[in-house]
Chain A
């Protein structure tokens, strides 16, 4: 089975702290994604990466950065945490399918971050 593992289930951080959320996948997937999930807003894409050291902004990248130094690991960084970044963060991964086809994403269990 595909496994996507997020390093923490729950985190509590103070305003202004630098926060690292880690994600590791074990299926040699090329693409990795970070989403945040908020009530009434569903999942919104923050950043994604299609290769090592490559990254692309998603729909809501402000206040976040990412790092992908190894294929299996994708980190989300909150440079200076703020209370409006309190949310559930979900990591996902997938591969590029054969041309003309699409593929689903495989998700980690989520990290619930509270910024106080």
Chain B
């Protein structure tokens, strides 16, 4: 079956620090990969996505590259802000069948001034 593994949190960083959140996946077929973000008290929002190998998704200074050879989709940001404090979910969906999205367990990021 399909699965997503994320690094355990919480991750605490100082403002302007470099962020990496690791994500690896297992999938049958050819998945699309996503990062969602959940701000406190809110639902999930799509942050970025990549639909095929070597694609790079980017948004709001965040980036992630679809690495088929290592089955990874690590999230990075060069300089985090306090407003980036949230829970980040790595996810995938596979073509064919119903468009279910499989999520990782989430990584909580706290950025301190």
Contacts and interface: CB of A to CB of B under 8 A. Distances in A.
Contacts of A58: 100
Contacts, number: 69
A42 B98 contact: no
A104 B49 contact: yes
A108 B42 CA distance: 8
Interface in B12-61: 30-32, 34, 36, 42-46, 49, 51
B106 A90 contact: no
Interface centre among B51, B89, B98 (most CB of A within 10 A): B98
Contacts of A6: 43
B100 A33 contact: yes
B36 to A, nearest CB: 8
A107 B43 contact: yes
Interface stretch (A12-20, A63-71, A78-86, A94-102): A94-102
B93 interface: yes
A103 to B, nearest CB: 6
A100 B45 contact: no
A50 B6 CA distance: 28
B81 interface: no
A109 B94 CA distance: 25
A105 B101 contact: yes
A33 B44 CA distance: 13
Contact of B98 (A43, A48, A100): A48
A97 B99 contact: yes
A108 B43 contact: yes
Contacts of B104: 42
Interface centre among A40, A45, A97, A102 (most CB of B within 10 A): A102
Contacts of A109: 42-43
B99 A43 contact: no
A102 B43 contact: no
Contacts of B32: 101-104
Interface in A32-88: 33, 35, 40-43, 45, 48, 50, 56, 58
14 contacts: A4-B43, A31-B99, A33-B101, A41-B105, A42-B104, A45-B100, A56-B98, A96-B99, A97-B95, A101-B32, A101-B95, A102-B31, A104-B93, A106-B46
